[in-house]
Amino acid sequence: MAFAGKYELESQENYAEFLEVIGLINAKTDFKVVTEVVQEGNDFTWTQTIPNWSWSNKFTVGEECELLTMTGTKFKAPVAMEDGKISIQFPQYHFIAEIIDDKLVMTCVTPGEKGVTFKRVNKRI
């Protein structure tokens, strides 16, 4: 599956709850999110942008990579691709991304009893 492209937020579920669980309490959730994915084979640059803020990670599928959380904390994790889905274990949640019907679908799942599943659907622009 080719992830490369520019995507705009179409819909999302449980975003405010997800932000609260990961410690971003009172974060604004009603903004236009643009995700740009540059893919060259197994090498990716993944950037999310909202007004006045941008967050970017470079990684290679099949390798342990140094990544940034949404709050700017660095961590190392292996990046996997299984059945066309990118999978990364962030410190506070598991991230999965896939292309479904030409849309970028990202799912983040926090662990534990109060776990939250946040899902974001992005249309290609």
What is the 3-state secondary structure of the chain?
CCCCEEEEEEEEECHHHHHHHCCCCCCCCCCCCEEEEEEECCEEEEEEEECCEEEEEEEECCCEEEEECCCCCEEEEEEEEECCEEEEECCCCEEEEEEECCEEEEEEECCCCCCCEEEEEEEEC
Across the 125 residues of the chain, what is the mean pLDDT of every consecutive 10-residue run? 91 90 72 92 94 91 94 93 95 96 96 91 96
pTM equals 0.90
For domain 5-124, the CATH class is mainly beta
For residue 123, the model assigns a pLDDT of 97
Strand 43-50 to 53-60 pairing: antiparallel
